[in-house]
Structure 1
Amino acid sequence: MFRKYRWNIVLMLFLANAINYVDRSAMSVALPVLNKKFHLDPFETGLILSSFFIGYALFNFVGGYLSDIKGPKKVMGYAMAVWSVFCGLTAGTFNFVSLFTVRLIFGFGEGPLTSTTNKTTNNWIPLKERATAVGICNGGAPVGGALSAPIVAFISLKWGWQASFLALAVIGIIWTLIWWRVSADKPEQHPQVSAEEVAEIHAGRNDLVTGPQTTAAPVKVSLLSVLKQSRIWALLVGMFGYNYTLFFFLTWFPTYLVDARHLSIAQMGFAAMLPWIAGAVGQVAGSVIIDYIYRKTGKLLYSRKIVLVVCLMFAALCVGFTGFASTAAGAVTLMTIGICFLYLQATTYWAIIQDIVPSEKVGGTSGFIHAVANVSGIFGPAITGWLVETTGKFTSAFVLAAGLAMIGALAVAFFVNATPADAKKEVVA
């Protein structure tokens, strides 16, 4: 299976997601140093973390929409180039305002990644392999998060925090140059993809309106009509809870370990790596479990939904209890288990979108859901900073993240349901 050319595209997307999370996580790892250098209080720290998500959320939708119109190759290439340049420019910031501005534009660049990844896998991957492929692509995120903590901590202590951002910028530019050479918007446009592989990729695909194997012209569906569906909004609520919890961990957990648990920078770098490793295992394992359930039951939406709801609930419980842990080891252990469960269900959102949305609207729908869900990243870090500054503790911040994740799981459980059109895909692969 992995000898097919499409898995080269999956590998590149895995690396893009890994670079994305190394770049993104670098700021949270470097923040304890920057807090002292720029004299930032907890609320200002939260604003710096939130600034990234303002640009990021906006371009979640813009990038996904453009990938439907212009194709994912161009959107992904330009996005990586922009975020890599501004990752490097982070090294030149000198106060709160300059850091806020650079992180804002950095977010613009990273915004298109996930929705464009989803569009690319929709174009390149057959239905029977889709959850596995999406899981591998997005599995780069926790791998990048795991690498970021020790690498950035080591470089910051050895050569200064600026060096880590410059090195990451160079890696991103190298990826961009390779991407332009090996990728294409669709498999049939790439000279190295055989006709047999193209046929395999397109075999068994269903149009949501005309049904499988039809020769009738597909009925055009507007993006607005897709976004008006109640199950799309329920899926959005689920992703909001997932994102809020993930971004709380991504942005504040390293600072929590240093400020509340009194770990050194070196100790924090190691401790913060453990949940990311568990998340990487969970990401890939979750996608394999989903495809296995689908093959055994023939129920496409069920295979995604059962993993999403159960794992997001368990993640919520672990994160909530972390706020009451009495030791640093206990907090790291609970958060590690929680992030593993969080990533076990991370693939499901993107797989569900591909399953219930017409192919030509996957990019725009992915971008819209991701954009609105990522509003959590705009307000969440600032709210956490305010809660910590007001209460002097992190407990309420952990409980809030857990509560939103639980609400998201319940929304998906009760409101994301199959329609008669979806039933056309309910066949054993």
Structure 2
Amino acid sequence: MFSNGRGIVIILLFLAGVVNYLDRSALSIAAPFIHNELSLSATQMGIVFSSFSIGYALFNFIGGMAADRYGAKLTLFFAMIVWSVFSGALALAIGFVSVAVIRILFGMGEGPLSTTTNKMVNNWFPPNQRASIVGLTSSGQPLGGAIAGPIVGFISISYGWRISFIIIMLIGIVWSVLWWKLVKEKPESSSVQMKEEIASTVENPCIETARKLQFTFYLKQKTILFTAFAFFSYIYILFFFLTWFPSYLVDVRGLSIEEMSIITVIPWILGFIGLAIGGFVSDFSLKKFIKKGALFSRKLVLVTCLLLSAICIGLAGLVTTTTSAVILVALSVFFLYLTGAIYWAIINDVVDQSNVGSVGGFMHFVANIAGIIGPVLTGYIVDTSGTYTAAFLLAGGLAVFASLAVIFFVHPIIKPIH
């Protein structure tokens, strides 16, 4: 798994995830400072949170197509530079409009990360390891979210919130240099054994029958569309936690900025564990239920864990103590992240290699529309109702509905007979 140059690919993709969520989580941690300094309402903060996803969702799709056409290495290199620069640019914000515009451009830079990660994993690893590797590399994301609280909280209190975004920008630039110098797009052509290993696959008629199909064919398949819908519910819960949970702890639970910065680490740590092991759970399930097919094993883990996440996030809005709310949100994030690698594993299982980036980018684009809708809707609910309860219940209910949709509509893709 770590031999023949694969180790450096895993490490740098993992670190890319850390930087990605360090950058992304910084705004939610600094939100109380930004809210006060720039005099923004809850609805305006919701728009600011959502503005990121406008650029992000669009470039999920564009980034996937770029990875297929120009290569995942080059695409991710430029993406990291762009998002790092615009992360730092937030230090120049002077009001609501400037913050929103900068966050849109920042989101455009971050958009290609997951699709390029999936493409690199597809290039470097055999099918029976891909869910494990996607989960392992992506686990850097919640780890970045975990360290964002203490780091951004400390810097914001000690030196001002603007300085934290400049420091984060410099970290991303350093990563870009290392990525360009150390990583190749694919294994060396001389490594025949590795290429044969990657080309080999577990019995999977979906891949074999779909090799010559066009990208547009996949956009009509219920399996792709409802996997995207399940991913939509995943992103909705994730962005609800990512954008509003710190403010919820301060506004509703009465915690100080220092206390909030520390407590938000707990769900992120559980999320890190969930995402790190989720791919291994999925690949283990694949081996255990191989006779039932790859898709059955993926669905088993996806539906079970997404339902558990939905129940926990819904209950978190009903409990009366801070401790129980934090525990339930942490468990929700844990179960949610257990499914994090599976959406991509399904794409790898049913889509031919030449379309993995584009189809994965389409799925990610659809899913991240939740990142546009969710934060604004939550801000509106908070402004109009004065409570977060309905927002918690809405997030949980959506995931329940998505889980049922996966059961009934996600099936193996069959190539049409010509």
Shorter-chain TM-score tier:
over 0.9
Q: Map of 1:7-406 to 2, 5 A cutoff?
A: 7-188=7-188, 194-204=191-201, 211=208, 220-298=212-290, 299-406=293-400
Q: Distance in 2 between matches of 1:194 and 1:384?
A: 51
Q: Distance in 1 between matches of 2:130 and 2:339?
A: 15
Give the 3-state SS of the residue equivalent to 1:417 in structure 2: coil
**Deviation string for 1:360-388 (max 9, x for gaps)?**
00100011111111111111101100000
CA contact 2:223–2:413 (8 Å) conserved in 1: no
Offset at residue 196 of structure 1 (A): 2.7
Q: Distance in 1 between matches of 2:204 and 2:72?
A: 21
**Deviation string for 1:2-31 (max 9, x for gaps)?**
234113112111111111001000001100
Q: Distance in 2 between matches of 1:164 and 1:262?
A: 24
CA-atom RMSD in angstroms: 1.7
Structure 1 unmatched runs, 5+ = 213-217, 422-429
> In the alignment, residue 250 of structure 2 is paired with which amino acid?
V
CA contact 2:239–2:371 (8 Å) conserved in 1: yes
**Deviation string for 1:343-375 (max 9, x for gaps)?**
011110000000001110010001111111111
Offset at residue 304 of structure 1 (A): 1.2
How many percent identity over aligned positions? 45
CA contact 2:211–2:352 (8 Å) conserved in 1: no
**Deviation string for 1:385-427 (max 9, x for gaps)?**
0000000000000011111111111111111112467xxxxxx
CA contact 1:38–1:96 (8 Å) conserved in 2: yes
1:424 matched to which residue of 2?
A: none
Structure 2 unmatched runs, 5+ = none
Q: Distance in 2 between matches of 1:389 and 1:210?
A: 48
Q: Distance in 2 between matches of 1:194 and 1:231?
A: 35
Offset at residue 80 of structure 1 (A): 0.3
Question: Which of 395, 402, 410 is the aligned partner of 1:408?
Answer: 402
Give TM-score, length-normalised by structure 1.
Answer: 0.93
Distance 1:268 1:210, change over 3 A: closer
Offset at residue 97 of structure 1 (A): 1.2
> In the alignment, residue 197 of structure 1 is paired with which amino acid?
M
**Deviation string for 1:51-74 (max 9, x for gaps)?**
100000000000001111111111
CA contact 1:320–1:398 (8 Å) conserved in 2: yes
Give the 3-state SS of the residue equivalent to 1:39 in structure 2: coil
Offset at residue 206 of structure 1 (A): 7.4
Give the 3-state SS of the residue equivalent to 2:264 in structure 1: helix
Q: Distance in 1 between matches of 2:245 and 2:42?
A: 13
Q: Distance in 1 between matches of 2:266 and 2:319?
A: 17
Q: Distance in 1 between matches of 2:154 and 2:96?
A: 24
Offset at residue 148 of structure 1 (A): 0.8
Give the 3-state SS of the residue equivalent to 1:187 in structure 2: coil
1:215 matched to which residue of 2?
A: none
> In the alignment, residue 178 of structure 1 is paired with which amino acid?
L
1:426 matched to which residue of 2?
A: none
CA contact 2:206–2:349 (8 Å) conserved in 1: no
1:425 matched to which residue of 2?
A: none
Offset at residue 207 of structure 1 (A): 8.5
CA contact 1:208–1:357 (8 Å) conserved in 2: no
Q: Distance in 2 between matches of 1:318 and 1:219?
A: 40
Distance 1:319 1:412, change over 3 A: same
**Deviation string for 1:209-261 (max 9, x for gaps)?**
8839xxxxx96321111111111111111111111011110000000001111
Give the 3-state SS of the residue equivalent to 1:188 in structure 2: coil
Q: Distance in 2 between matches of 1:166 and 1:324?
A: 39
* Matched positions, count: 413
Q: Distance in 2 between matches of 1:280 and 1:288?
A: 13
Q: Distance in 2 between matches of 1:416 and 1:387?
A: 32
Q: Distance in 2 between matches of 1:356 and 1:145?
A: 31
